[in-house]
């Protein structure tokens, strides 16, 4: 048996990992691993329950996730989980520093200056 260094082994299994991550089993495994690694304190079953309660859509834009899966949104100060959001909405909340005041200011700005 030949021993591989960490870098060579990583390169050798990249194509296998990429193909596996595109399967349903791979996506499920990645979600379970992500929930555990990020330390949200919820199980895969709890994630699934939240997803079902939200009818599979983002709590902000009410759309299904077009790419990947809905993200677990949480308060950075308390760690409390608020719900599941698509990546753009989750990033938006984060970019506005989880501040209701800043978000309200952005809403007012958009109403005044954006044509819809």
* HEC-encoded secondary structure of the chain: CCCCCHHHHHHHHHHHHHHHHCCHHHHHHHHHHHHHHHCCCCCHHHHHHHHHHCCCECCCCCCECCCCCCEEEECCCCCCEEEEECHHHHHHHHHCCCCHHHHHHHHHHHHHHCCC
Domain 56-116, classified CATH 3.40.1800.10, yes or no: yes
pTM, 2 dp: 0.72
Tens of pLDDT, residue by residue, the chain (116 residues): 557 787 777 777 777 666 666 777 877 888 888 888 887 888 899 999 999 999 999 999 999 987 788 999 998 888 899 999 999 999 999 999 989 999 999 999 999 998 76
């Amino acid at each position: 048996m030949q021993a591989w260094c960490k870098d060579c082994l990583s390169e050798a299994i990249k194509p296998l990992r990429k193909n596996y991550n595109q399967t349903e089993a791979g996506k499920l495994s990645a979600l379970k691993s992500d929930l555990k690694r990020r330390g949200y304190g919820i199980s895969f079953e709890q994630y699934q329950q939240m997803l079902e309660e939200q009818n599979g859509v983002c709590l902000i834009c009410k759309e299904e996730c077009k790419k990947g899966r809905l993200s677990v949104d949480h308060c950075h100060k308390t760690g409390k989980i608020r719900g599941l959001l698509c990546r753009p909405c989750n990033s938006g909340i984060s970019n506005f520093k989880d501040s209701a005041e800043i978000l309200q200011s952005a809403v007012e700005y958009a109403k005044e200056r954006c044509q819809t």
